[in-house]
Structure 1
Amino acid sequence: MSESTAAARLFGEHFLQGLTTEELQMVERVRRLTREVIGPKAAEVAKEDVFAWDTFRLLAREGVVATAFPKAYGGTDARQVLRIRVIEELARVCSTSASLITGTDLSTRAIAAGASDDFKSRLLPGLCSGELQAAFALTEPSAGSDVRGLETVIRREGDHYIVDGRKKFITRATTADWFAVVGRAAHDPSVFIAVLVPRDAPGFDISPEVGKLGWYGVPISSLEFRGVSVPVSHRLGAEGDGFHLAQDALLRARIGHAAMALGRAIGAVEIAATYMVDRQLFGKSLGEHQGAQWMLAEMIVQIEAARALLALTAEKYDRGDADVAIFASMAKLQATDLCMKVVTDALQLTGGRGYLQDFPLERFFRDAKLNQIGEGSSEVHKTVIGRDAVRRSRSAERNPCLHAGSLVDY
């Protein structure tokens, strides 16, 4: 696909350069789905906060869900440079469909990375095809972004692990067949353990679905574990790998959140720009007024800059760069805060129509907020980025403009 042959779009195709022919075919397949099915049905899907089975099955059937899984188990093991394009395309019209893809990554990554060969053979093909569902049980009432604050305890008794604790804000809890649960080792709180718990395990309770502001189609629930026993063979990775498995899943999810936010921002600008052409104001179209043009210009420039940062982050992930986590924090912070601003400004440009439930921007506006909160709030990522910069500055090359010695002596 090239800019000369693709249908003209407000945002160009420059970020598709470098994708393989097969990857471009996946992008085009997703675009077809958004034009023919997902976009036209997005408002209907978002009316109730129940799991969007029809959308999920469509994405599974079309091989989009499979991008999160290894080839050995039926997946395509897609590069992140492709996945961010797929998520962006979906989020441009429907947060539900985009979150189903990012959520699949989050809920199954620890299984794909840490499960035994036997469990991978048993679960991954079904998870890849959509026949099975998994949930990632990490967040707790008093611990979320700070994984080291977890209070769930996992202790070993013979050839079993016993799990005690509570989890909160768990996506897919009411539909999952298996739960990847992360907790602290009873014998050493500095050691984190991850285990697989089946939904029918005695002592395991799943709360009713909890209502929320937006992101309908992917409901959440709370979990409680009271002496839940699972065989040692259900462990993910080695004892002590729980923290790293959680961080790996969160890293990919943060990249996905950034892509989702930018896709939604792109969709909001497209809608606002179309309205600016159609709406007449004081004898000319809204788009001919300089003030509206300036708002549009700021949004487009900032989105393209954020897309470039995200593309770099995806490349770093695919290469295995050591600093990819800090770039994921930067991309997530930039993209999600920008999306909230862009959707707000786009709604402002469309006036009263933007506030109507029948108009897409009302849904975009409600959905945008969660990207700033999920998988680490914007404030958490600011702390992470700032702390990293201070740490590195101690040994970084000194700016040549400075005199020798301490700057407090100036």
Structure 2
Amino acid sequence: MKPTQPPARLFGDHFLRQLNSEERAVVDRVRGLTAEVLGPSAAEVAQTDTFAWDTFRLLAREGIVGTAFPREYGGSDARQVLRIRIIEELGRVCSTSASIITGTDLSSRAIVAGAAAEMKDRLLPRLCTGELQAAFALTEPEAGSDVRGLQTRIRRQGGRYVVNGRKKFITRGTTSDWFVTVGRAEEDPSMFIAVLVPRDAAGFTISPEVGKLGWYGVPISSLEFRDVEVPHGHLLGAEGEGFDLAQDALLRARIGHAAMALGRAIGAVEIAATYMSDRRLFGKALGEHQGPQWMLADMVTKIEATRALVALAAEKYDAKDADVAIFASMAKLQATDLCMAVVTDALQLTGGRGYLQDFPLQRFFRDAKLNQIGEGSSEVHKTVIGRDVMRRARDADRNPCLRPGSLVEY
């Protein structure tokens, strides 16, 4: 007898063609985890906004956290085209799981890219296995998407750096051992510096966890630095490279947010379509009515188109293309706005059941909003994209349909 094949998925595996056999095996392992553990436990994880240690340890033990780290430190140095597939699979069932993986990029990328060799040897193997955690301390009360608005000051004092300032909305604040902290040089505010601050540094305070609407399992806190001193060896990159290190971490996190939102949108459509097969209305299945079918058609078509855009952004990151930042903004904007719309429509299609706490879509609905806000709101990315288009339009190849001269002369 031939082995029984698992049923085909509602959304196909065409994007796995970008991966080699080793990378596909990682995706298969993640799918096993979502089916056996992460999906069935997602509702329980989302009951309280405390750090999901069991989920984190599972993902670390299975090497999924390690995909963000270089091989020489125990990781697998996964390409972004694989990372987005992992995050999409996790986002399909559990925002907590997906955000643990995107959060690893955000919290550890600057250490991978900029730490001194001694600090890498000391921290990266233990971050890779989950023995240690790091947090990314960038956002402030009056500065988030606009990194150049940071007010935290860092000054060099002999062989040490002294940090003063406040940070807000910091994920993993209460569980992290190390904090990637970005601020302005006190002597030259146009220059950005990034340093590693240990949890037990004198003058460093972590607030209690702050409650939020959704995304339970990865709580947030505020941080305060009062003359916090760290050794010169805790510098990340060179003085003045803090902005670039922050931007690279945000770039990877934005692509991750897009993949997470896509996964959640896919999961929402799967749930809604299953309900529409089971629910009968006016003598036939809900899914046999034209109106609901058209809603599904719009959702599935837009999801597949957005998957292609997110895959392109990941390819551009791996290829180090110069325009990757704009494509990451487009992917993040499109995927997160689409997810909010899809989850809302999926909940509508499932009626009163969709609004029940026992039904997964209420969790999907609450979690979807933060993807539109975190790592740059949709409105910020629209501004970034629009400015880029106009900057390039001035020197771009002119459409052949136009006659010479200014268009105001038509």
Paired residue type of 2:238: A
Residues 186-197 of structure 1: pairs in structure 2 closer than 5 A = 186-197=186-197
SS in 2 for 1:344: helix
Distance 2:7 2:147 in 1: 45
Partner Cα distance (1:58, 1:157) in 2: 42
In the alignment, the residues of structure 2 paired with residue 314 and residue 284 of structure 1 have an alpha-carbon distance, to the nearest angstrom, of 43
What is the correspondence of 1:337-348 to structure 2 with a 5 Å cutoff?
337-348=337-348
1:49 corresponds to which residue? Answer: 49
Q: Which residue of 2 aligns with 1:246?
A: 246
Distance in 2 (alpha carbons) for counterparts of 1:300 and 1:157: 57
Alpha-carbon distance in structure 2 between the residues aligned to 1:364 and 1:279? 21
Q: How far, CA to CA, are the matches of 2:262 and 2:180 in structure 1?
A: 29
Q: Which residue of 1 aligns with 2:107?
A: 107
- Residue identity in the other structure for 2:337: D
Counterpart in 2 of 1:221? 221
CA distance in 2, matches of 1:110, 1:120: 11
- TM (norm. structure 1) is 0.99
**What's 1:208 paired with?**
208
Query: What corresponds to 1:369 in structure 2?
Result: 369
Residue aligned with 1:226, SS: strand
> Which amino acid letter does the alignment assign opposite residue 302 of structure 1?
K
Cα distance in 2 for partners of 1:47, 1:288 equals: 35
Instruction: Give the 5 Å matches for 1:269-280.
Output: 269-280=269-280
Number of the residue aligned with 1:151: 151
Report what 2:310 is aligned to. Answer: 310
CA–CA separation in structure 2 for the residues paired with 1:15 and 1:5: 20
Residue aligned with 2:250, SS: helix
**Which residue identity lines up with residue 287 of structure 1 in the other structure?**
G
Within 5 A, what are the aligned runs for 1:257-272?
Answer: 257-272=257-272
Identical positions, percent: 79
Partner of 1:87: 87
Number of residues of Structure 1 aligned to a counterpart in Structure 2: 407
How far, CA to CA, are the matches of 1:67 and 1:190 in structure 2?
34
Which one-letter code corresponds to 1:14 in the other structure? H
SS in 1 for 2:183: strand
Query: 1:7 offset after TM fit, Å?
Result: 3.7
Query: What is the RMSD computed on CA atoms of the aligned residues?
Result: 0.8
* Alpha-carbon separation, structure 2, partners of 1:35 and 1:49: 23
Alpha-carbon distance between aligned partners in 1 of 2:34 and 2:156, rounded to the nearest angstrom: 48
Q: Distance in 2 between matches of 1:72 and 1:382?
A: 39
SS of aligned partner of 2:167: strand
AA paired with 1:259?
A
What letter matches 2:345 in structure 1? D
Alignment gaps of 5+ in structure 2: none
Q: After TM superposition, give the deviation of residue 5 of structure 1 in Å.
A: 6.3
Amino acid at match of 1:276: M
Task: Trace 1:23-172 onto structure 2 (pairs within 5 A).
Answer: 23-172=23-172
Q: Write the distance in 1 (CA, Å) between the matches of 2:381 and 2:26.
A: 31
**Residues of 1 paired with 2:153 and 2:13: CA distance?**
49
Question: How far does residue 18 in structure 1 lie from its aligned partner after superposition?
Answer: 2.4
SS at match of 1:131: coil
Aligned equivalents of 1:180, 1:235: Cα separation in 2: 10
Residue 45 of structure 1 deviates from its aligned partner by 0.3
In 1, distance between residues paired with 2:7 and 2:38?
A: 19
Deviations 1:253-285 (A, max 9, x none): 000000000000000000000000000000000
Gap runs ≥5 in structure 1: none
1:12 is paired with a residue whose SS is: coil
Q: How far apart, CA to CA, are the structure 2 residues paired with 1:102 and 1:26? A: 16
Residue number in structure 2 paired with 1:237: 237
Instruction: Report the TM-score when normalising by structure 2.
Output: 0.99
Structure 1 residue 327 displacement after superposition: 0.1
Equivalence for 2:179: 179
- Partner residue in 1 for 2:334: 334
Could you tell me how far 1:343 is from its partner in structure 2? 0.1
Q: What is the identity, as a one-letter code, of the residue corresponding to 2:225?
A: F
Stretches of 4+ moved more than 4 A in 1? none
The CA deviation at 1:59 is: 0.3
- Aligned equivalents of 2:96 and 2:325: distance in 1? 25
2:405 aligned residue: 405
Instruction: Please tell me the residue identity of whatever aligns with 2:104.
Output: T
